[in-house]
A and B are shown apart, each in its own frame.
Chain A
Amino acid sequence: MKIRQIQQVLIALLVVSLLAACGGDATPTSAPADSGGSAEPTSSSGQAAPSGEPIPIGVAVAQTSNVSLFGQEQVTGAKIAEQYFNDNGGVNGRPIKLIFQDTAGDEAGAINAFQTLINQDKVVAIVGPTLSQQAFSADPIAVQNKVPVVGPSNTAGGIPQIGEYVSRVSAPVSAVAPNAIRYALDQNPDIKKVAVLYAQNDAFSKSETVVFQRAVTDTYKLELAPVQTFQTTDTDFTTQATAVLNEKPDLVIISGLATDGGNLVKQLRELGYTGPIIGGNGFNTTNIFPVCQRFCDGIILAQAYSYQQESEINQAFRKAYKDAQGKEPPQFSAQAFAGVQVIVEALRKLGDLSSMALEQTREQLNQQILAGTYETPLGQLSFTPEGDINQSTFYVAVIKMNDSGTDGTFEFVK
């Protein structure tokens, strides 16, 4: 009998929680920035918003799930941006307020987070989501609702083409990756034969390897050994490493993530490969050091961000990041910062927001975002009319490990 009562209580709890979702809707979790909102745009002109009322900007990244390693770096970057711009006058005297909604790692989660930000939190623009696949899923929602989206880390082809409200501050792989090959060729002009490996189940690696292969065969006219594939979940790469060694390449290019890529590098070196190795953007994290240890030494990486970039804003960002985290800022944090920055600077140019209805703000903000040029920690950037990024500089780094092989640094060479 008792069990049955508990059972009914649990069911009741589930039902009540569903109703609570409806009830919770009546009081939006945060105050809308522009009084009036979608219901009655005319009323907003009558009552000017108080100067202290913050402007809500949405951040929808993967704070949980297996993508959260990237998402949490993005949260850190965005929070530094919020602090930095509020300390520097906000938007013409009004502070900004970032509203975070977790997308988790899947497409449905991204859609739900976008819907909540757009309809409930009434944000003026959104920075997100983390993965390109999530962007393909959630960005159309923003386009339908005419809300500007700035992608902080969506690098696949076709993202800006989703709609006129979509732009990104993450350079597509086609722009970043070939820089590493150029550097390797500068170092060693005798390179003739190149072996390429990639993680077949990772969308980013798949797009990246196409770019690498095209650069090898078309741009630099080098010989390409048969391409080897692996899975990000693999741990044993003997087959691939042996196949690569049999081809006797002068250069190896790997597109993968930190764990699998690091292990692959380690096993390649252990089997006797001594030539240069280029790593894809997935290697662009300090998490790789413990995986390949002393074998990481010498891996060449092309990057969209360098913490050594000398601009004033990057040094401010780097300092804030170091104070908070105790290490150098990674690319994902810098890109999230740049995403928030682009929105804030565009908002500043819009002038008095209190006289505008939310739809109008969003529409004009989008035009302003695309029109501007921005000095960000990534360097100077602007947008194509479609919303793709024009980034002026890219960087090449080489991994340097310490003698014991326990820790290392990215040494920027270009």
Chain B
Amino acid sequence: MSDFFNTYGSLIVFMVLNALLALSLYLPLMAGQLSLASPGFFALGGYIAAIMSTKVFHVEAGAYPLGYVLIEMLLAALASGVLALIVGIPSLRLRGIYLALATIAFIEIVRVLSLTLEITGGAVGIFGIPQPFGTPLGYLWLALPLLIVAALAIWRLERVRVGRAFNAIRADELAAGAMGINTTYHKVLAFTLGAILAGIVGVVYAHVLNTWNARQGTFEAGVAYLTYVLIGGSRTVVGPIVGGLALTALPEVLRSLGGESLPTWLNNFLNSGQSIIYGTLIVLSTTFFPQGLITPRLLRFWRRTRASNDQ
């Protein structure tokens, strides 16, 4: 079992962190806003962690204090929140595909800035980020509570007034406005909450990766997070989490399925054909389950089956 955790420690952490990133995209989607801005805030959080831990806090030997990481997370949350307000208020006047385009432009601005600025290390980036834990698995102490808190908070959010307002805006923005819901306020709120979450995840990610550069949090990454949400399910909080966990694990699962006992061609296919299998799965799920695999209907169906079994 220890071998298992040694081998897959980092993978488990990546799974949890990617589930969190999927949630950060799910938040604006709750209010019907297709925003791809999460990677931008994710990159910002990572740079805050990288710069603070290598240039501001100097820790000579031993493990990097966890308190510092928490300070970085707080800073990243603040910075992402403020930036999200600045970006969100004008860009959320746009709808649908135009909002998506504006947020892609935002990601590009962040990327080009991090390539040009001296403090972000240009294309090489920042390396030698100190480690608060001895093993990769230690990061679960940060990532897992974060996932549980975020999931519970969103689950709760869907059941209070604000969440219902999000839902109303998603169903019909015009009608929601006519019912007296302040649509701008709620849209910016959903956008900002997602940004704060992405920023915090960026901090943890930077420490896990040991290094941070402009290749993190790009448009491609944004599309990957969107896939987690779309395949997992964009209508319940469980969907993005399952999507993030499963799709991050998938390539590694395929890697471990390969082995000496299999015929060579199959082994080669599992090793190098990962992208083919991944792509096929995406096409299949989006064709047959446009709402994602885990839909509210399915959850209700499961609940009913369980209830009737209990009787």
Query: Chain A residues in contact with chain B, CB under 8 A?
Result: 3-4, 6-8, 10-11, 14-15, 17-18, 20-22, 24-25, 27-30, 63-64, 100-102, 104, 106-109, 111-112, 115-116, 118-120, 132-133, 136-137, 140-141, 144, 156, 158, 162, 200-203, 205-207
Contact = CB atoms under 8 A, between A and B. Distances in A.
Nearest to B111: A201
25 contacts: A6-B288, A10-B284, A11-B294, A21-B249, A28-B3, A29-B260, A64-B272, A100-B271, A104-B251, A107-B209, A111-B10, A116-B255, A120-B3, A132-B124, A133-B211, A136-B127, A141-B10, A141-B136, A144-B134, A144-B135, A156-B124, A201-B214, A203-B123, A205-B123, A206-B124
Interface pairs A-B: 8 shortest CB-CB: A136-B211, A136-B127, A119-B6, A119-B7, A24-B256, A203-B123, A206-B123, A29-B259
B209 A17 contact: no
B9 interface: yes
B210 A64 contact: no
A18 B253 contact: yes
B115 A29 contact: no
Given A11-B294, A141-B136, A201-B115, A25 B215 contact: no
Contacts of B208: 111
A115 B208 CA distance: 13
Interface string B115-138: 110000011110110010011100
Contacts of A111: 10, 136, 208-209
A112 B274 CA distance: 14
B41 interface: no
B128 A158 contact: yes
Contacts of B14: 108, 112
Nearest to A22: B4
Contacts of B128: 136, 158, 162
Contacts of A158: 127-128
Contacts of B125: 133, 136, 203
A112 B288 contact: no
Contacts of A6: 288
Contacts of A25: 3-4, 7-8, 256
A115 B7 contact: yes
Nearest to B272: A63
Contacts of B285: 10
Contacts of A18: 245-246, 249, 253
A27 B209 CA distance: 28
A206 B288 contact: no
Q: For chain B, which range describes its interface: under 10, 10 to 19, 20 to 34, or 35 or more residues?
A: 35 or more
Contacts of A137: 209-211
A14 B246 contact: yes
Contacts of A156: 124
Interface string B240-282: 0010011001111101111110000000000110110000000
Contact of A21 (B116, B253, B274): B253
Given A11-B242, A141-B136, 13 more contacts: A10-B293, A14-B293, A17-B249, A17-B253, A29-B259, A63-B272, A115-B9, A118-B7, A120-B3, A132-B124, A137-B211, A144-B134, A203-B122
Contacts of B115: 200-201
A206 B122 contact: yes
B275 to A, nearest CB: 6
Contacts of A203: 122-125, 213
Contact of A24 (B136, B257, B289, B293): B257
Contacts of B274: 64, 102
Contacts of A28: 3
Contacts of A64: 272, 274-275
Nearest to B252: A112
A226 to B, nearest CB: 15
Contacts of B214: 201
Contacts of B8: 21, 25, 115
Contact of B11 (A14, A30, A112, A118): A112
Indicate the member of A109, A118, A137 with the most B CB atoms within 10 Å.
A137
A200 B210 contact: no
B57 interface: no
Given A7-B293, A133-B124, A20 B253 contact: yes
A133 B123 CA distance: 9
Contact of B256 (A8, A21, A201, A207): A21
Given A22-B4, A64-B275, A3 B288 contact: yes
Nearest to B3: A119
Interface in B212-236: 213-216
Of B10, B131, B288, most buried by chain A (CB within 10 Å of CB) is: B10
B298 interface: yes
A21 B252 contact: yes
A137 B127 CA distance: 8
Nearest to B267: A29
Contacts of B249: 17-18, 21
A191 B116 CA distance: 30
B185 interface: no
Contacts of A108: 10, 14, 209
A203 B120 CA distance: 12
A56 to B, nearest CB: 12
Given A21-B249, A203-B124, A206-B122, A120 B7 contact: yes
Given A25-B3, A120-B3, A115 B136 contact: yes
Given A11-B294, A203-B213, A205-B123, A116 B250 contact: no
